[in-house]
Amino acid sequence: MSVVFKDMIGREVVLEKVPERIVSLVPSQTELLYSLGVGVKVVGQTVFCIHPESGFKTTTKVGGTKKIKYDVIEELKPDLIICNKEENTKEIVDTLSKSYPVWVSDIYNLKDNSEMILKLGNIVDRLPQALELVKEIEKNFSYLSTDSSKSCLYLIWKGPWIGVASNTFINEMLKCAGFNNVLSHKKRYPEIAEEMMQALKPDYVLLSSEPFPFAEKHINELQIIFPHAEIKLVDGEMFSWYGSRLINAPAYFASMNHQ
């Protein structure tokens, strides 16, 4: 008997049974599947699905998040493919949906994250585990102080400089970590000229470990632009990965405030 599930962008996804062969095109949700205890059902994942390491080493790679290998996916014969509105293109979702059930997430805040975990938990028949995970994440975040007295500029790319603004999951995590985003008046991921960056006068400049591999040398370079700011390398996964990784994010945010 088929069951209809609605994904997070309003699409109806019809499944004939509990999925046994899953392809995940979303790194953080690949990790979530393992956390829910269905990692053995993940038959394909992207080259960016690096957690957990055991799955990364052994599971078939189907390309990246924006460029996938349709022929490899066809060989895997999945009965569920997991995508994300931001990480995967509409073309990928539309093309795969012609042949497979494709479930799409769309996440901007903690509430969306909880909804995603519960919906996926239900689909893969791990709802009790999903409920427990959501409870643990929400409890950990409840301990954080969200006093946004410290202004920050969060950078994700160099050449050109690209920052993170409003209407993003990262912006929500910055609030949780106690930062006031100086780009909150802009949308998504704006390109920023050096003169504009200087005019923002942030207290902190946070350099994400992904997607651009910021390193110590970039701290020295940016200190010239921001002589009065504190410049930090930060773990981008803690700010941008949703799903089960968020269990550890509050402790990481708290440690930043004590450094």
Radius of gyration of the chain (CA): 19
- Residue found by looking up tokens 């350099």 in the block: 207
What average pLDDT does the structure give for the chain? 95
Cα–Cα distance between 204 and 239 in angstroms, integer?
15
pLDDT at residue 258 above 70?
A: no
Is 0.75 topped by the overall pTM? yes
DSSP category for residue 49: -
Instruction: Report d(CA 7, CA 105) in Å as an integer.
Output: 6
List b or e across 96-135, with b for residues whose CB sees 16 or more CB atoms inside 10 angstroms: beeebbbbbbebbbbebbbbbbebbbebbebbebbeebbe
Tell me which residue has tokens 């102080």: 145
Q: What is the C-alpha separation between 47 and 6, in angstroms, rounded?
A: 27
pLDDT in tens, 98-123: 999 999 999 999 999 999 999 999 99
Total number of domains in the chain: 2
In-domain check, residue 120:
no
Q: What is the pLDDT of residues 207-251, one digit of tens each?
A: 999 999 999 999 999 999 999 999 999 999 999 999 999 999 999
Residue 241 covered by a domain? yes
Together in a domain, 16 and 102:
yes
125 torsion bin: left (phi>0), alpha (psi -120 to 50), beta (else): left
List, for residues 21-36, the tens digit of each pLDDT value: 999 999 999 999 999 9
Taking alpha carbons only, the member of 97, 87, 73, 88 closest to residue 22 is: 73
Provide the CATH number for the domain around residue 162: 3.40.50.1980
Residue 206 has a pLDDT of 98
Q: DSSP string of 130-191?
A: HHHHHHHHHHHHHT------EEEEEEEETTTTEE--BSSHHHHHHHHTTEEETTTTSBSS-B
Q: With cut-offs at 50, 70 and 90, classify the pLDDT of residue 259.
A: low
Residues 157 and 253 in one domain: yes
The encoded tokens of residue 94 equal 């539309």
Alpha-carbon gap, residue 166 to 161, rounded angstroms? 17
Q: What is the pLDDT confidence band of residue 1, given thresholds at 50, 70 and 90?
A: confident
**Dihedral sign of CA atoms 32, 213, 173, 161 in order:** negative
Residue 81 resides in a domain: yes
| pLDDT of 146 over the 90 cut | no
Q: Are residues 7 and 101 both part of a single domain?
A: yes
Residue 38 lies in a domain: yes
Domain span including residue 90: 3-106
43-56 mean pLDDT: 96
**Tens digit of each residue's pLDDT (9 = 90 or more) over 171-208:** 999 999 999 999 988 889 999 999 998 999 999 999 99
